[in-house]
Structure 1
Amino acid sequence: MTFIDSHAHIYSEKFDADRAEAVERSQQEGVSRIYMPNIDHTSIDALLEAEEKYPGVCIPMMGLHPTSVDKDFERELYLVEEWLSKHTFAAVGECGIDLYWDKTFLPQQQEALRVQVELAKKYQLPLVLHTRDSFNEAYEIVAAAQDGTLTGIFHCFSGTLEEAEKVKELGFLMGIGGVATFKNGGMDKVLPHLQLDDLVLETDCPYLAPTPHRGKRNEPVYLPLIAQRVGDLMEKSLSEVAEKTTANALNLFKL
């Protein structure tokens, strides 16, 4: 079985001591590719170094994370576009809106997302969206810009069935991670009503480790645990989940 981790910060300093081993462990479990979202200017060097060390396995995206948006966000976005113009990336991301930590810069977050939506169109790349406590705000911006060319992922999806239907109508996929394994994560009420066509798998490592590793450092080797939970909830075999979510990711990223 082959899996794809569609969202993993394997370049994080949390892996500095054993990144090679973590990548090797994941490959032994069938995780063939690890797609890496950027955060801001401080993460680019580590992101590209991971790509260089693990070519064809660790694949970068380029974007500005909403929690890195402040009054000087335009400078960050100039850098994002500069990199998109000179290097190959799988997606624009991660970008979006985050109202969990701080609402101070909501207008700037909205503008930063609009700009990155246009960059996705310009470079014909999918969007990888962060929507923590902000599904409606992010959805409205992307829906307003959807002209049939936008594709992407609502990363770390843990919303309602109604929100899931909106994602599907938009032509986007849902990234399912460790939250699906949490006792009170809520995905047991949503996943049984979805199709595997709607999903990709992710770890968001080093964050959100699945049960039974919750609270510890997450890593791509745990992706099959998430896949198994998805299969259990959707009454599908592990091999079905692996095959379909892998195909979905490859079709989306086209890299």
Structure 2
Amino acid sequence: MQFIDTHTHIYLEDFKEDFSEIISKAKEENVKKFFLPNIDAKTIKDVRALYESDPKTYYPMAGLHPCSVKEDWQEQLDQLRSELDTGDYIAVGEIGMDLYWEKKFKPEQEKAFLEQASWAKEKGLPIVIHVRNAFDELFELVDQINDDKLYGIFHCFTGTNEQAKKILNYGGFKLGIGGVVTFKNAKLDKALTDIPLENIVLETDAPYLAPHPNRGKRNEPSYIPLIAQKMAEIHDVSIEEVARITTQNAKEVFGIDE
């Protein structure tokens, strides 16, 4: 049995003191590979350094998180584009829209998303989408650019059944499911009951959104089986089956064959 954590920020300061222990615990829980979404032009060096330390374990992405879209967004994009052109990145991400904290940079978020999505199409890479309090706005953008070259993951999906089906109807996307599915009040389990596992990948989004019973604590990749167990309950299959299908899904989306 093998799991992949398809979205984890283990390169952040939160994990510096006990990094080796965190990875050992994850591997004991059969989490063997870690996909690293980038945040901004500063974090990309840490993403790249972790990848270079063990390219068969850590897989890097390059992108500008929507919450990092500020006055200098174009300058950051130029730096990240240069990095994408010179590095061995598996995806453009994480990118998208987030209107939870403020809407001041909404136009810039839209431009940044469209520009980065065009990079992915040009390079034949998947995109990893972050969306919070902005499903309708993000859907409008995807509607504009969707074609057979646009594919990837809607990460940390917490939407409705209707939104899940709209995403899947685009044709090239899977849903990234994390710790929120274990939260009783989130009702995400009900939104996923008729969504086949073939459309799902697993993620932690560590250090954020730890699954029950660790909610409120620092999240880490070793908690992936807690998410997988919940998905097994929702779909009435074994956790081994969840591991097999979601791992295969992740490898297919990100073009990994080992």
Residue by residue, what CA displacement relative to the aligned partner does 1:147-200 show, whole Å, maximum 9, x if unpaired? 211110000001001100011111200000000000111212111111001100
Matched, 1:214 2:215: yes
- Matched to 2:201, the amino acid is V
Q: Does 1:37 align with 2:37?
A: yes
Deviation of 1:23 after TM superposition, in Å, equals: 1.1
- Gap regions ≥5 residues in structure 2: none
In 1: Cα distance, 2:228 partner to 2:235 partner: 10
Aligned length, in residue pairs = 255
Matches within 5 A, 1:51-90: 51-90=51-90
| Partner residue, 1:156 | 156
Where does residue 182 of structure 1 map in the other structure? 183
Q: Is the 8 A contact 1:9 1:36 kept in 2?
A: yes
C-alpha distance in structure 2 between counterparts of 1:143 and 1:2, whole Å: 35
Moved more, 100-109 or 140-149: 140-149
Aligned to 1:47: 47
Residue 54 of structure 1: how far off its partner (Å): 3.0
Counterpart of 1:93 in structure 2 is 93
Q: Distance in 2 between matches of 1:239 and 1:140?
A: 37
Determine helix, strand or coil for the equivalent of 1:32.
strand
**1:208 Cα shift?**
0.3
Runs of 4+ in 1 over 3 A off after TM superposition: none
What are structure 1's unaligned runs of at least 5 residues?
none
* Distance in 2, Cα, partners of 1:245 & 1:210: 18
Q: Is the 8 A contact 1:6 1:35 kept in 2?
A: yes
1: CA distance between counterparts of 2:70 and 2:24? 37
| TM-fit CA distance, 1:6 | 0.5
Aligned twin of 1:225: 226
Deviation at 1:52, TM superposition (A): 2.1
Cα deviations by residue, 1:82-119 (Å, 9 ceiling, x for unpaired): 01111111100000000011110000000000001101
Letter of the aligned partner of 2:147 in structure 1? D
Map Cα deviations across residues 21-69 of structure 1 (whole Å, 9 max, x no partner).
Answer: 1112111111111100000012112111211223311111000000000
Deviating more after overlay: 59-68 vs 134-143: 134-143
Residue of structure 1 in register with 2:244 after alignment? 243
- In the TM superposition, residue 245 of structure 1 has moved relative to its aligned partner by 0.3
The more displaced of 131-140 and 223-232 is: 131-140
Quick one: distance in 1 between partners of 2:92 and 2:49?
18
Amino-acid identity (%): 47
Matched residues in 2 for 1:92 and 1:136: separation?
Answer: 21
TM-score by length of 1: 0.98
The one-letter amino acid of 2:91's match is: A
2:160 equivalent to 1:167: no
Distance in 1 (alpha carbons) for counterparts of 2:88 and 2:194: 36
- Separation (CA, whole Å) in 2 of partners of 1:202 and 1:113: 22
Once residues 10 and 21 of structure 2 are traced to their aligned partners in structure 1, the CA distance between those partners, rounded to angstroms, is 11
Look up the SS of the partner of 1:228 in the other structure: helix
Which residue of structure 2 aligns with residue 122 of structure 1?
122
Are the aligned partners of 1:117 and 1:142 in contact in 2 as well (CA < 8 Å)?
no
State the TM-score, normalizing by the size of structure 2.
0.97
**Residue identity matched to 1:201:** L
Once the two structures are overlaid, the 10-residue window that deviates more, 171-180 or 52-61, is: 52-61
